Structure formats: C-alpha cells, structure tokens
C-alpha cells in the first residue's frame, strides 16, 4: 500500500510542539524560567540552522520528565495539549490527511519530537502510525535517556526503514510532507516529496528539483493527486 508520511511540527501543526512544551513548562513555573527559556531558544535557533546537537538537546528536553511522577506529567500534558496544541492543528492539514486516507494510503507521522509529547497529538489527528524519538522508561519513570536512535535527520530514514521491514512495506509511490531542510534525507527517499510552508533552504531545494510546494497555513492545500 502507498504510504503518506508527514512531519509534524510546522507541517501539520502551525507551530513547534517541542518548543511550545518548554514554553509551557516555563509559564507554569515547572522549570527555572529565564535560564530554561534561554536554552530553549538557543536549541531552537540551532535546529533552524541545521546545527542542532540532538543528543544534547534531548538531555535538556527530557530532564523535566525525570523529576515528576507520571500522573502529574500526564495532567500537565493534557493541559498543554488543550492550551498550546489544539489551537495550532491546521484545518487544511486535517483535510489533507483525510484525502490521503480516502485513497487508501497508510498515514504515518515521523517526528524528532519525543513520543510523550507527540503520541496524543497523533491521536488527535487520527494517525495510527507514529515514529518519534522514544524516551526511555524504567520502572514506570522516565530516565532522561532515549531508547534507540533519535528520529532526526538521517535518523528519520533509518527509523523508517526499520518500520518498513517490520510492517512489510516499501516506499514505492510514497509521499512525504515536511517544512524543514532537516528532513532532506527522507524527502530524497520518497516518490513524492512535498515542501509544506518550507524554510528558505528547503524552498530553494524544492524549486531546484521540481518538488511540489504547498501551504497548509493559508487553508488551501493542494490535493494529493
């Protein structure tokens, strides 16, 4: 079956869930505000520039999960989803997902953002298959480490290849939608790469190679045909 693969942050969402989670923690007084927000901004700038040290970022981003019981984390997460995520789920993104689903395509979200944050977002979007960075848990607590490979840059390709083998699927006829030049390794692997509200580097690459460019933020996504 044909795969329709989607990046999440700034693609299906009109914002970055990783970044917003950290802002939420600061606003709620859960972390040291000024210092934590400064680090968050530094890591986000590195991501935009394509120079992010993903392992250093994950140590920073996962640390608060180690400091609180799961019940409290789940309560905060639900508050975060209502306040920060529901307002930025793009209507055009929902229509695009529905359009692919109507054609019998298998929907997959692939994201560097960890599963604790993105699992319920994928559920809200009605997407069964999620490939995300996996935070490690031992005895029902987060450790601050990750399980396996970060789902970032070339890591997205490797994680998807593992998923393809496990599900006996391939990339023939496949689609991948992304906003970021960090996803160029995977965009080059699929049959139908689509740049969605792309950053300048991805836009330049897409135009050069004749890839489709669409906007989901302006509420008029091109059909997936």
3-class DSSP state for residue 192? strand
At 34 the pLDDT is 85
> Percent of the chain beyond pLDDT 90?
88
* Average pLDDT, integer, range 119-146: 96
State how far the alpha carbon of 119 is from the alpha carbons of 17, 77, 135, in Å: 11, 11, 12
CATH of domain 3-14+89-214: 3.40.50.1000
* Average pLDDT, integer, range 3-21: 96
User: Does the pLDDT at position 225 exceed 60?
Assistant: no
Of the listed ranges 50-54, 83-87, 113-117, the one predicted with least confidence? 50-54
Helix intervals (H) in 50-187 = 54-62, 70-80, 91-102, 115-124, 154-167, 184-187
* Average pLDDT, integer, range 60-80: 95
At 9 the pLDDT is 97
Give me the chain's average pLDDT, please. Answer: 94
- Interacting residues of 137 by C-beta distance below 8 A, sequence separation 6+: 143
Please report, for the chain, the start and end positions of each structural domain, with discontinuous segments joined by +.
3-14+89-214, 17-86
On whether the 17-86 domain is CATH 1.20.1440.100, my answer is yes
Beta strand 129-138 with 106-114 is: parallel
User: Does the pLDDT at position 221 exceed 70?
Assistant: no
Of the listed ranges 3-7, 12-16, 60-64, 89-93, the one predicted with least confidence? 60-64
Confidence of residue 195 (pLDDT cuts 50, 70, 90): very high
User: Does the pLDDT at position 224 exceed 80?
Assistant: no
At 146 the pLDDT is 96
User: Does the pLDDT at position 220 exceed 90?
Assistant: no
User: Does the pLDDT at position 222 exceed 90?
Assistant: no
At 135 the pLDDT is 97
At 37 the pLDDT is 85
Catalytic residues: 7, 9
At 32 the pLDDT is 83
Output phi, psi for 55, to 5 deg: -70, -40
Residue range 157-181, pLDDT digits in tens: 999 999 999 999 999 999 999 999 9
User: Does the pLDDT at position 10 exceed 80?
Assistant: yes
At 122 the pLDDT is 98
């Amino acid at each position: 079956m044909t795969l329709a693969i989607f990046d999440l942050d700034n693609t299906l969402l009109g914002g970055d869930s990783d970044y917003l989670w950290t802002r939420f923690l600061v606003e709620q007084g859960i972390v040291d505000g000024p210092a934590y927000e400064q680090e968050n901004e530094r890591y986000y700038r590195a991501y935009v520039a394509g120079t992010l040290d993903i392992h250093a970022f994950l140590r920073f981003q996962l640390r608060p999960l180690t400091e609180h019981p799961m019940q409290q984390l789940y309560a905060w997460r639900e508050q975060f989803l209502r306040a920060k995520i529901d307002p930025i789920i793009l209507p055009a993104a929902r229509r695009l997902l529905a359009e692919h689903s109507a054609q019998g395509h298998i929907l997959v979200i692939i994201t560097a953002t960890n599963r604790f944050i993105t699992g319920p977002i994928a559920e809200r979007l009605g997407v069964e298959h999620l490939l995300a960075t996996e935070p490690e848990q031992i005895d029902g607590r987060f450790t601050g480490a990750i399980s396996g490979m970060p789902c970032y840059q070339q890591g997205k390709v490797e994680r998807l290849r593992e998923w393809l083998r496990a599900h006996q699927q391939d990339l023939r006829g496949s689609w991948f939608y992304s906003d970021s030049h960090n996803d160029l390794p995977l965009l080059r692997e699929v049959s139908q790469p689509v740049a969605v509200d792309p950053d300048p580097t991805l836009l330049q690459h897409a135009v050069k190679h004749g890839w489709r460019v669409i906007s989901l933020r302006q509420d008029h996504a091109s059909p997936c045909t």
